[in-house]
Amino acid sequence: MIPTTDRADILELSGRIRAVVGHLIRRVRNESGTSLSWSQSALLSALDRRPRSTASQLAMDNGLRTQTVWATVDILVARGLAERARDPEDRRNVRITLTSAGLEELLSDRQVREQWIVDVLMHEFSDPERNLLVAVIPLLERLAGSARTLEQDR
């Protein structure tokens, strides 16, 4: 275990966390065999969490540019996975929603990804190792949910 008391130790820890989380995300994505790109999958998930979003909301929530969101929404609409409609309250806004096909694709994709993780956890991890992962989850959630920005440290 590496000590985590000085800046160099914390820098090494942060690099290892970033690398392993990135690798896990890419591995799970690769194992799923999904036809969705990263941004398509992210937007389908975002629309599931926050129905009737605007492109600006989706961009802000997912760290994407609004132009990227619109390009991705165009693809999702063409594939029948999402639909656009003018906001009846404010006709200047366009709301984007999942279609039933979009929800089905999202749920199917999630199920395949989670099944790969389940299989690995069941066959390659011991009970104590799985318990250690359970204990780490709240810390990773706290890290991912931090409101801290880089500007606060500059």
pLDDT tens for the chain, 154 residues: list them. Answer: 555 678 889 999 999 999 999 999 889 988 887 788 888 988 999 999 999 999 999 999 888 899 999 999 999 999 999 999 998 888 888 999 999 999 999 998 889 889 999 999 999 999 999 999 999 999 999 999 888 887 766 5
CATH of domain 21-144: 1.10.10.10
In this structure, the number of other CB atoms found within 10 A of the CB of residue 27 comes to 14
pTM value is 0.74
Task: Say how far apart CA 41 and CA 52 lie, in whole Å.
Answer: 17
Whole-angstrom distance, CA of residue 98 vs CA of residue 138: 30
| Amino acid 39: pLDDT | 85
CB count in 10 Å sphere of residue 102? 22
Where do the structural domains in the chain lie, given as residue ranges?
A: 21-144
